[in-house]
Structure 1
Amino acid sequence: MNLKNNIIFEKTNLSKYGSFENITFNLIDNIMYSDFSFKTRLENEENIMTQETFQNLFESIKLTGLLNPVYLLEKSKDNYVIISGWRRLLALRELYKIENRKIFYQKAIILRNDTPLEVLENISIDENTKRKDLSLLELSYKFNRLSSVKGITIEECLKKFNIGKSQFHAIKKAIDFHPIIKETMLESVGPIKADLLNKILEKLLLLHPQKEAYSLLNAYSKKTREDLKNTLKSLDNTLNQKTNFFEIKKNNNITILKIRENLTDEDHFKIEVFFKDLLKK
């Protein structure tokens, strides 16, 4: 199969960097599985291989073959790094343990070592997002890695992955969201709404016991983004009122303390003791 016949390669001009090759036992055996240069998943290999979805993938490849090609970078002669297709290649490695003569024709796209890094990163993200293999949390990990390790600017990321600025920032922040947001809400509500819920949860935990805050959060997760923005403003106002319950004014040698609370006689006594101790009088 000629690379020029593939629509992806026509758009990205990849034909000048590599070619389609057969997948064989020798190719699978020469992949450097410990090289994570382009790995997008947060899971380790052992966790992936014990998942039911991985077992289903293994059975699917065994019975019907490999439907989509994998991308490899030829690091040196007969040494390959995975660009895209980690799970499929792990499944193939397991398959070749029992069927080492099997051939998957024209299912490996081998790119030369001089392929630009930008091209390789594009493939790594583009292939996984289009196939929906990446979770939002994994995308967050990838975006942070691109920004810190690869030195790619925000503008370059927006252009490269064709996403809006607010969506990019929300996805990038997702890796630092509260665990309950990451684990139970992020994938279902999306990154922008999850970002709002994360900010709301921070306020709720300052105002309520943890269990109550979580319960309120669950109710808020069903609201629209506009409703959540209004909720956030309301919580900010509530917190401002609670944190501004006293005021201190200074005028030359006079300091005035105003407390906006209905205090008991006991409270008054404690304040008097505190200030006497503070002023040593």
Structure 2
Amino acid sequence: MTKQFPQALSIAGSDSGGGAGMQADLKTIQQRHVFAATVLVAITAQNTLGVQQALPLSAAMIDAQFASVAADLEIKACKTGMLADVDQVTAVVRNLKKYDLGPLTVDPVMIAKGGAPLLSEAAVATVRDLLLPLATLATPNLPEAEKLTGATIHTEADMAQAAKALQQIGVKNVIIKGGHFNDNAESNDFVLLEDGSNFWLTSPRIDTINTHGTGDTLSACITAELAKGTPMAEAIRIGKAFVEAAIQDGIVVGHGHGPLNHWAYEARHHEF
């Protein structure tokens, strides 16, 4: 039998506009030369202008998708994105405990780029109490980190404290994304690893509104790298570089917050 190709799993909602959610995950994982499987948790009617409608799937359907994937594929890493509501989060947690799907990256998606809520208030507590303790890595932005820890984040020192608070919840590795500090010329992300070491990832702030799907893309890229066996710190650095390239070498799609250029990193590094 030939050697199994690296496989990763996206557990997320669908974005009909193609820029974020499961679609961004699939594009990113594919670009990193990893096979992407999916568990669909919710369907959205969505474009670059916002989310028009959302429909969570039943827990039974989520269970069935997990069972199908686990019965046939050899998933080496997985990630969660939009999880909708308490029932969906609980179903995902139940299945993550049931099956060995490799290291788990949790992107605690709460609010769409246009401002629409993607996670109910009750589900935020379920993510914090049940999902995060299973996470190998969590990748919240500043508002998400504040919501999950109850802390107010105004400074980089606050970011470091929030990362430690998330580790106390049970997350092994944490990235606090600093992109919401809009007055800085650079975007600084704080990384706290399981062994207690930490570092900052710095990139120039790019003047563009075409950043739809940035968080999904970062977490999906890291998940793909982990599926290949890349060490955590290196996987995080590759994820940051992938997103930076995807924003810098932008494309124009839609009339609102446009998507990223998922081809950009490989074009820069000639990885075809």
Q: Structures share a fold, TM > 0.5?
A: no
TM-score range, shorter chain: under 0.3
> Normalising by structure 2, what TM-score?
0.25
- Indicate the structure (1 or 2) with the bigger Cα radius of gyration: 1
Higher strand share: 2
Higher helix share: 1
> Normalising by structure 1, what TM-score?
0.25
